Amino acid sequence: MAASALTQPKRRASPQETLLQILLRGWSWVFLVALILIFTALDPVFLSVRNISNILVSSTLIVLMALGQTYVIITAGIDLSVGWTVGLSSVITATVMRDFGEAGMDPGTAIAFGVVAGLLVSLIPGLVNGWLVAKIKIPPFIATIGMFGIVRGAAFLLTDGKNVVGNIPAEIREVLRGIGNGSLLYNVPDQGLVWFSQPADLAATQLRGLERLMPYPVLITVVIVLIFAFVLARTKFGRHTYAIGDNEEAARRAGINVDRHLIFIYVLAAFTAGIAGVLHVFRFTAGAPNVGEAALLDSVAAVVIGGTSLFGGEGKISGTVIGALIIGVLQTGLVILAVDALWQFIVVGVIIIIAVLVNQAQEAIEARQVKREEHADE
């Protein structure tokens, strides 16, 4: 190191550069707040408790799919099969519940078997994807798009080409609705707050004003999000995930079992998709093979909007959740404003491009700072 470098302080980033970095890192939060304010200004109904509750419930599908996708993309991969894994899980779950229920099994037991079956089946695509990527060295895009077709075909074959598996016994449907459409806390007109279950025999005016303050699907999703966020940010598994995405060869040299880790990552992505499929059955008391098809792009968009780099090595679960909420707010807001639903695809596509540009701008600023520090040390 030169002697002058010992006496001269390193050049710090200018206030303008610091402000720009802060804005780039937190742009998704700012964008979410701006969207809420804009839609509320255009229609005050948007910020109602009922509407916010609906946005949160509808966003659970995207959040659950995007959780596992975040881990995969941090390792510089992608999983294009999760959408149909959601459908396969929902089909298996609904079919097992229906068949066991029709055989006279207790509703609680039939539901438990259905949930376990749906989750176990969802692990198969993830296990195969991970094996193809880690052991056979097939690029993730190719491996998972091939699994996309396999799982899609399997889901439709199991339903004889039909879109929905129904005919679940009434006793089971009642339990499913109680969880999938229920809430831990209700606000009932003229009665106030009511815990655990919706009161029976409500008047029509009370039903119209009923507010679900803590929907069960949202609470379940929050618990899963917290677990995945903790694992990624606070455990060795999370550190290894970042290391593999940053430099796979260096991770191998550091002693990380990269192949095993990648297989587990793709299994995790399939598992969260399986949970989404199970929750779909609870919400709609039926399984649909194509339930996750449209949400595939949204799950990837949520991850990218949330700041996860498509090149790997960077990303947070909190950012992914914000990205999913942005998509949920956009979709609901456009519906309330009676905008053609097809515009949603265009808007989400534009936001993805913006997110990638923001990520590149962040990397460019950080690279310039590193270069200035290196010059200061010379």
Of the pLDDT bands very low, low, confident and very high (cuts 50, 70, 90), residue 4 is: very low
Between 70-79, 130-139, 165-174, the lowest mean confidence (pLDDT) is in: 165-174
- Rg of the Cα atoms in the chain: 23
At 154, list the tokens.
């399997």
Give the torsion through C-alpha atoms of 30, 36, 40, 45, to 10 deg: -160
- How many angstroms separate the CA atoms of 263 and 180, rounded? 31
Q: Are strands 211-212 and 192-195 parallel, antiparallel or unpaired?
A: unpaired
Residue length of the chain:
378
pLDDT of residue 7 exceeding 50: no
For 261-272, what is the mean pLDDT?
A: 96
Q: What is the pLDDT of residues 44-93, one digit of tens each?
A: 888 888 888 889 999 999 999 999 999 999 999 999 999 999 999 999 99
285 φ/ψ sector (left φ>0, alpha ψ -120 to 50, else beta): left
pLDDT of residue 13 exceeding 70: no
| Torsion 315-317-322-327 (CA) sign | positive
pLDDT of residue 128 exceeding 80: yes
Start-end of H helices in 26-169: 27-42, 49-74, 82-102, 107-134, 140-158
pLDDT of residue 221 exceeding 80: yes
Q: What is the pLDDT of residues 341-367, one digit of tens each?
A: 777 778 777 877 887 777 777 767 666
pTM summary value: 0.87
Q: Which of 341, 274, 284 is nearest to 58 (CA)?
A: 284
CA angle 88, 104, 283 (to 5 degrees): 40
For 225-246, what is the mean pLDDT?
A: 95
Q: What is the pLDDT of residues 268-283, one digit of tens each?
A: 999 999 999 999 999 9
Residue 295 near residue 95, CB atoms below 8 Å: no
Q: Kind and range of the H or E element at 212?
A: strand 211-212
At 352, list the tokens.
């993805």
At 158, list the tokens.
């199991």
The single residue listed with the structure tokens 């339930």 is: 291
Domain 17-371 fold is ABC transporter involved in vitamin B12 uptake, BtuC (1.10.3470)
Q: What single-letter DSSP state applies at residue 211?
A: E
